[in-house]
Structure 1
Amino acid sequence: MSDGKVCRLATRKSPLALRQAEIVSKLIRSTMNVDVELLPISTSGDQRLDWNLQDKGGKGLFTKELESALLAGEADLAVHSAKDLPTDSPEGLCLSCFLEREDVRDVLVLREGVVSPKVLASGSPRRVAQLKNRFPEANWIEMRGNVETRLKKIALYEEADGTILAAAGLRRLGIERYAGLIFEHLNVEEMVPAPGQAAIAVQTRLGEEHKFSGLGHPATEKAVGLERRVLEVMGGGCQVAVGAFSDSNYLRFFHQKTGFLKLDARNYSEEELTDELIGRIK
């Protein structure tokens, strides 16, 4: 930390990212008795709203600049949405912990009065693949921007009939309803979440991870660790339609080749579970 009393926290500039940074800051202040200084950074993914995330690879576009600040010594930690993180950390960095995860579900957002949407907005292959059976006639487009911007594009500008958002993001922003829109929470077997969805990740320089490891939530860390391992063995990124959600009993999995799978995780190791999934894909 810069002087032993101030912790410099790198975060994206979006309202949701800043809210997540505030959650971590509050926890640091209450448990470590140090002050926190936010370092808001605009990432390439934030700046280039004209980019198609599938074409650009998605993963890393919202993290690279924060990681550069860590490596340069400008920040002591970086806060990320765990689902945005690549499965490998840059040399010299590591993940310190994952905070207790929020509501892991996805939310289908439709404009009021829309029953059979003609145009749905999502740049996530995972979400598109899982909702195609429900809305086989819908055309899918990518819609960029923060949560508020996307809601406005649906409700006011009618750029699409609906979209899909993470319940955790909506809750952290305090958005329970929005004029002109209907929110439907999708259960985790209808829409398997992204690996790490709803969890906040803390990243540090290698060798300093112990400073913030006490902020972590053991059950979340175990679950997200398995989900990220699944993503890694699937060669996943934003371009691959992979969903994985682990609780204390089951691993729920979605892949464009297998569809939905539910594996009993109670008596199997992480390696056994991932081997089983690899066998199903082949």
Structure 2
Amino acid sequence: MKKVVRIGSRESKLAVWQAEHVAHMIEQAHPEIEVQIITMKTTGDRILDRNLDQVGGKGLFVKELDIALMEKRTDLSVHSLKDMPMEVPETLPILAYSKREDPRDVILFRKGIDTVKVIGSSSRRRQVQLEKLYPDCTFTGMRGNVQTRLRKLEEGMCDATVLAMAGLKRLGMESAAGRILDPEEVIPAAGQGILAVQGRAGEDYYYLDCIMDQDGQTAALAERAFVRALDGGCSSPIAAYAQIADGQVILSGLYYNEETGSYIVGKKQGPEKEAERIGRTLAAELKERFEVRG
């Protein structure tokens, strides 16, 4: 008899792809295991007409999955790391971080559009950075999964929208990208492109050895430490992107000041074993720069 492992996933096409990707890796590396995927609709998936900060934050995307884990109806949850709250319960830790997919944001344009006047995005992180690239544009809120946003785009809700390239690549839709935004132009969300596998504390998850990627974990720790130090939730336009090379972390961060309505960016480099300290230090330095300005 094979050991059965149940993965909890949101119902969207992308979320299911991500769960199936993790399931395939586990079954390939551990043939003694059979993986089952259990999908569920989260509160965050149901509420699409309001920004997340108005209805409870990113926790709405994990609430039902967390409950299923605690009640032992599932053994694991697979998330896009960028959709996870900064504070994770000690009883439901992140057990593995995947190899990072393309972390960049991309702009998708409505067919037949020559001039972009309205960009559909509910992400303030994206809005404040895109205002410099498209100063004559206005923004309208847009939430939902990839297919929902593309439908709204083609229905004329806006002239362009912004998505993560990682999601498009995972769905085989990268050809839809109209303009790829370099991280120097638009810093990605913390954790963008990384999958997080969550489980219950104190249990044996030996089979996740095939998922864990050291560079993915290091980048995740640096980026999330930066955002956490700035108290950044889903409503705060804070961004962080870490590159790992030759044992070093090179962290780019964006800090937005609510009082002034402006933002600054900065970089910090150091040994990868000090990833979280680098994140906290860069956050403190950017806050101090604003205070000096004031």
Give yes or no for TM over 0.5: yes
1:29 pairs with one of 10, 16, 27: 27
- Give 1:4-83 correspondences, 5 Å limit: 5-33=3-31, 34-83=33-82
- The 1:264/1:184 distance shift into structure 2, 3 A limit, reads same
State whether structure 2 residue 250 is matched by structure 1 residue 254.
no
Larger RCO: 1 or 2 (CA < 8 Å, sep 6+): 1
Q: After TM superposition, give the deviation of residue 4 of structure 1 in Å.
A: 5.8
- Give 1:67-216 correspondences, 5 Å limit: 67-155=66-154, 157-178=155-176, 183-208=178-203, 210-214=205-209, 215-216=211-212
Q: After TM superposition, give the deviation of residue 190 of structure 1 in Å.
A: 0.6
Write the distance in 2 (CA, Å) between the matches of 1:277 and 1:225: 13
Q: After TM superposition, give the deviation of residue 112 of structure 1 in Å.
A: 4.0
Q: Deviations over 1:44-92 (max 9, x none)?
A: 0111223322312431111110010000010000000100111222252
1:263 pairs with one of 257, 265, 268: 268
Write the distance in 2 (CA, Å) between the matches of 1:24 and 1:133: 38
Letter of the aligned partner of 1:260 in structure 2? V
Write the distance in 2 (CA, Å) between the matches of 1:268 and 1:202: 21
- The 1:209/1:169 distance shift into structure 2, 3 A limit, reads farther
- The 1:6/1:275 distance shift into structure 2, 3 A limit, reads same
Write the distance in 1 (CA, Å) between the matches of 2:164 and 2:204: 28
* Partner in structure 1 of residue 291 of structure 2: none
Q: After TM superposition, give the deviation of residue 114 of structure 1 in Å.
A: 3.6
Task: Specify which structure has the higher proportion of helix.
Answer: 2
- The 1:209/1:82 distance shift into structure 2, 3 A limit, reads farther
Q: How many residue pairs end up in the alignment?
A: 276
Write the distance in 1 (CA, Å) between the matches of 2:195 and 2:151: 26
State whether structure 2 residue 214 is matched by structure 1 residue 218.
yes
Q: After TM superposition, give the deviation of residue 267 of structure 1 in Å.
A: 8.4
RMSD: 1.9
Write the distance in 1 (CA, Å) between the matches of 2:45 and 2:21: 21
Q: After TM superposition, give the deviation of residue 242 of structure 1 in Å.
A: 0.8
The answer to whether the 8 Å contact 2:222/2:242 transfers is yes
TM-score (norm 1): 0.92
> After alignment, is 7-16 or 263-272 more displaced?
263-272
2:175 partner SS: coil
The answer to whether the 8 Å contact 2:266/2:282 transfers is no
* Partner in structure 2 of residue 231 of structure 1: 227
Q: After TM superposition, give the deviation of residue 261 of structure 1 in Å.
A: 1.6
Give aligned-pair identity as a percent.
Answer: 37
The answer to whether the 8 Å contact 1:144/1:150 transfers is yes
The answer to whether the 8 Å contact 1:111/1:162 transfers is yes
Write the distance in 1 (CA, Å) between the matches of 2:46 and 2:99: 29
Q: Deviations over 1:68-126 (max 9, x none)?
A: 00000100000001001112222521110111110010001122454542211111111
- The 1:50/1:273 distance shift into structure 2, 3 A limit, reads closer
The answer to whether the 8 Å contact 1:57/1:237 transfers is no
Write the distance in 2 (CA, Å) between the matches of 1:209 and 1:140: 47
TM-score (norm 2): 0.88
